[in-house]
Amino acid sequence: MTSILVLNGPNLNLMGVRQPEVYGHTTLSDIEAMCRAHATAHDLGLAFEQNNHEGVLIDRIHAARGTHDGIVLNAGAYTHTSVALMDALSSAGLPAIELHLSNVHAREEFRHVSHIAKVAVGVICGFGAQGYILALDAMRGHLESRG
């Protein structure tokens, strides 16, 4: 069975409470439930995790090798700063999709920079919680097209 790791970075545990005008009212648990229902409906294996620490996220990416087929990563602010996460994705050798709730390109200039995008198959941003479902479908399609 195809298996996807959905990995969430710093501050995303506060979704629903944190700047709802930017990130929406949906909580991360709501999103996890949406993803689990979608994965079940499409016969996908799913791991859904969140961590605030860069090193732990790197460990999770390394561990995904041999366990999962693809990674959907909302690295939060580490997207814009972390060469280490970019290197971890390259080292894992798994296809990755960069995901954001907000449209980072319509926000501050420092959010226009992404280290993750350089090693990602593609980027989904600006669709709020629904972006997670779009990312799962995009990864499923990508993995199927590779055979």
Residues that bind ligand DHK (CB under 6 A): 11, 74, 76-77, 79, 100-102, 104, 111
Nearest alpha-carbon partner for 58 in 78, 80, 99, 88? 88
Catalytic residue among 68, 78, 100, 115: 100
Q: Of the two residues 32 and 45, which places its CB atom closer to ligand DHK in the complex?
A: 32
**Rounded Cα–Cα distance for residues 125 and 133 (Å):** 12
**Rounded Cα–Cα distance for residues 75 and 54 (Å):** 9
Q: CA 55 → CA 14, 21, 32, distances in Å?
A: 20, 30, 22
- We find the least distance from the C-beta atom of residue 144 to ligand DHK, in angstroms, to be 26
- We find the least distance from the C-beta atom of residue 102 to ligand DHK, in angstroms, to be 3
Catalytic residue among 23, 68, 78, 115: 23
132 tagged catalytic: no
Please identify every residue annotated as catalytic: 23, 100
